Structure formats: structure tokens, C-alpha cells
Amino acid sequence: MDRGIFAQRRQVIAGLAGLALLAGSGAAAAGEMRGTGDLGVVVERASGSLLIVDQSERAAIGRVEGLGDLSHASVVFSPDERFAYVFGRDGGLTKVDILEQRIAVRVMQAGNSIGGAISDDGTLVAVSNYEPGGVRVFDAATLEMVADIPAEWAGGLSKTIGLVDAPGRRFVFTLWDAGETWIADFSPGVMQGNTPEITKITGIGDHPYDALITADGRRYIVGLFGEDGMTALDLWQNPPVPRRILAGYGRGEARLPVYKMPHLEGWALAGDRFVLPAIGRHEVLWIDGRSLEEVGRTATHGQPVFAVARPDGRQVWVNFAHPLNDTVQVIDTPSGEVVKTLRPGPAVLHMEFTPRGNEVWISVRDAGRIDVYDARSFEKLAEIPADSPSGIFFTARAHRTGL
């Protein structure tokens, strides 16, 4: 055979070997890459840090420190699930890169804040403030301020609570002092420069303490601390008209001792009913999803704080206020009966289901760990050490309204 042909063959073989080496190195690089779909964060409130966790590994994979006062912290995610926005109690707003495990941007935007939200298009982040009151809105990429919305009323500046995102690049929040709900519309066709259109709805009630928005973005429901009942708004109405619901229920009914106010974000939609943690009572309330009228109650171990539905709605997991906060109960949705009682340990603060509901992660603050349970067999699958853990937030929240 001609030597030239042999030479050409050697060149081809060498070239193929080189391609194989490149492919191998590319595979190695790809192996070092990580998606965000099964990641999450755990708030470590005592140390002001964020623990980054992997659902598949059932393990912590990193920690980000220097986030300030996280005693009442909440978290939302960017649409690509890469960035976590952390709302600290000290007024700090921190954008955390959960892939690079570092703080991307941090601003001190107020003196005392109480949660926040991200717009449906992922471009704006809003923070609800106690001090100085009002809501401030920031560019999600840079955390530069876009708008300052002082919650002015006859008595001065009001604390704001119940801040949520609503469809159409809107934020909805409620004024504790004024008993009003405001809708801030940042849609391009409505804004004047950086100034949103504000719709003010009066007559919400006496000292609203928290609020929620339903997953379809239609109903905004406000809890009242100063009187019985709650107030619901239909955001499809223009303007929405306040409607009182659950008359005769609430803080004003019997002035019961309340060890911890339940979070209304703890409302769970299970099938065609909501389940609501009752204020100051050892029970949860079942609410018809359409009429918003009470249709039943379930007696529980203690005063509920969170009632979290498994994603398929088949069960509701409930934790409780001090001093009975070492327990979690599981309620069967069709029957409304408690089917399992677990005792993970002292100070169970939060529960979070994996996106399809196969597992539930539970923070046990005073035991310094996260417990992972199989959501059907109730078997404990793993324990993850954590420093005074509280809120658990998985990145799947990025694609759900109001979370």
C-alpha cells in the first residue's frame, strides 16, 4: 500500500484520538455543571446564613454567610432558579447566586422589613417595610431602586404586610395601620416613568396582620387581628370590592391566648377546599374553594402555624406553636382526619414538599437539623445538620404565583 495512504490513515487516527480526548474533557466539564431544579435554600436564622441544599443528594452542598438578621426571613427565586432573593428582618435585601454560592448584591433598603415578592416576569423585586413603612421596588438584576411607595394615610406612614406578586407585573399589599389594600401596577402600558399606577381599596378591616394570594392569582385574602372574620378581594374585578368572609371567626371572637400568629401563606388548597390554621385554637378550618365559606374543622395537637398541602392535595401536614412545637400531624384530605402524628423534635418551624410531593423536608430548629421524610410511608430518609434552621425554600417556587 502507498506510504501516503498510510500517512493519511495515521493522521485520521490521530485526529479521532484528539476528538475523543476533547469529548472526554467536555464530559468531565459537563459533569461539574449543576442544574438548579432540585436545589433549595434553608434559612439559618441564628447565624445570618443560607444553607444551600440538594434534594437528590438529600444533603447540604454549601453555605452563604453575611445576610444579616434572618429572624423572620423569606426567600423568592429568579425565573431561571439561579438567584435567591432574601428578605431580612433588618431591612437587608440580598441577592444570592446559589450556583456560585456567594452574595451577588446586597442592599440595606429599610430599617425593618417583613418579606417581599418578585414580579411575574422576574424583573422587579418588592420589599414590604415596617420601618419606615411602605413598599420599595428594585431592579432584580442590579438591586437598584426603581420605585419608593410610601404608604401614606391620615395617621402618617403605615406598616405594610401581605405583599404578594399578582399577574400582570403587579404587586398587592395591605396597610396595617390604615386597613387598606393597595395594588401597584408596573405593567409597561400603565407606568408613568418609574411610577406605578396605584389602586387603593378601603374598608379592609381593623389591623390586617397578613394576607395571601391564591395560586391562580385571582383572590387576595386578608387576615384581621382587630376583629372577627377576614376580607377577600377578587382581583379580576376592576376595582376589587372587599368581601367579608368567615364572619364570627378570628382574633376578636374570644380573645384567646395566641402564642404565635399563623402565616396566611400557610393556607393550603387541598382538592376543592382550603385548609386554614385557626388562630389561637387547636384546630384547622376547611373552607370551600369557591364560596370561601367554612365547611368543617379538624381538631389538632396544638395551635397550628403552617398547614401545608402535599402537591397532589391528598394530605395536609401541620406544625404547631410553642409549647407544643415538637410535633407534626398529617391530615387526610377526603376524611379530614389526622392519620399520622410525628415528633421530629424541639421547635419544628417549617415544612417544604419537593415539587412532586414524594418527600417533605422539616426544619427542627432546636435540634439543629433538617429532617427528610417520605411523604407516603412517613419513613425518615435523612437528617441534614443546620444551624438553627427555619424557612425551607425550593427553587420550584420560582414558577408559582405568591411564593
Q: Which CATH number fits domain 59-255: 2.30.42.10, 2.130.10.10, 3.30.70.1290, 1.20.1070.10?
A: 2.130.10.10
pLDDT given for residue 378 in this prediction: 98
pTM of the model: 0.89
Residue 356: the pLDDT is 94
pLDDT above 50 (res 25):
no
Of 56-65, 95-104, 165-174, 283-292, the one with minimum mean pLDDT is: 283-292
- The residues with which 126 forms a beta bridge, in sequence order, are 117, 137
Residue 331 has pLDDT above 70, yes or no: yes
**3's grid cell:** 506510504
Give the per-residue pLDDT at 159.
94
Predicted confidence (pLDDT) per residue in 301-312, tens digit: 999 999 999 999
- Percentage with pLDDT > 70 across the chain: 87
What share of the chain has pLDDT > 90, as a percent?
71
Q: Please say whether the structural domain 259-403 has been given the CATH code 2.130.10.10.
A: yes
Q: What is the mean pLDDT of the chain?
A: 88
Nearest partner of 64 among 73, 56, 55, judged by Cα:
73
Is 264 or 286 the better-scoring residue by pLDDT?
286
Rounded to an integer, the average pLDDT of 227-253 is: 84
- In this predicted structure, what is the pLDDT of residue 84? 98
Among candidates 148, 231, 135, which has minimal Cα distance to 182? 135
Rounded average pLDDT over 25-49:
77
Q: Say what the pLDDT of residue 261 is.
A: 53
Average pLDDT over residues 340-363: 97
What pLDDT, on a 0 to 100 scale, did the predictor assign at position 193?
Answer: 83
- For 280, phi and psi rounded to 5 degrees? 70, 5
User: 216-231 pLDDT, tens per residue?
Assistant: 999 999 988 888 888 9
Residue of 386, 383, 385, 377 whose CA lies nearest to 344: 383
CA dihedral over 315, 399, 351, 381, signed as positive or negative: positive
- Report the pLDDT averaged over residues 258-268: 60
pLDDT band at 342 (very low <50, low <70, confident <90, very high): very high
Beta partners for 137?
126, 147
**pLDDT at residue 112 in the model:** 87
* Location of C-alpha cell 413603612: 133
Confidence of residue 317 (pLDDT cuts 50, 70, 90): very high
Asked if pLDDT for residue 400 goes beyond 60, the answer is yes
Residue 28 has pLDDT above 70, yes or no: no
Could you report the per-residue pLDDT of 122-159, keeping only the tens digit for each? 999 999 999 999 999 999 999 999 999 999 998 889 99
Q: What is the pLDDT of residue 374?
A: 98
Q: State the Rg of the chain over Cα.
A: 24
Going 359 to 360 to 363 to 364, the CA torsion angle's sign is negative
Q: How confident is the model at residue 403 (pLDDT cuts 50, 70, 90)?
A: confident
Mean pLDDT in residue range 244-250 = 78
pLDDT score of 2: 44
pLDDT at 126: 98
Task: Convert 208-231 to b/e letters by CB count within 10 Å (16 or more is b).
Answer: bbbbbbbeebebbbbbbbebbbbb
pLDDT score for 22: 36
Domain with CATH 2.130.10.10 in the chain: 59-255, 259-403
pLDDT at residue 120 is higher than 70: yes
For residues 28 and 49, give the distance between their C-alpha atoms in angstroms, rounded to a whole number. 31
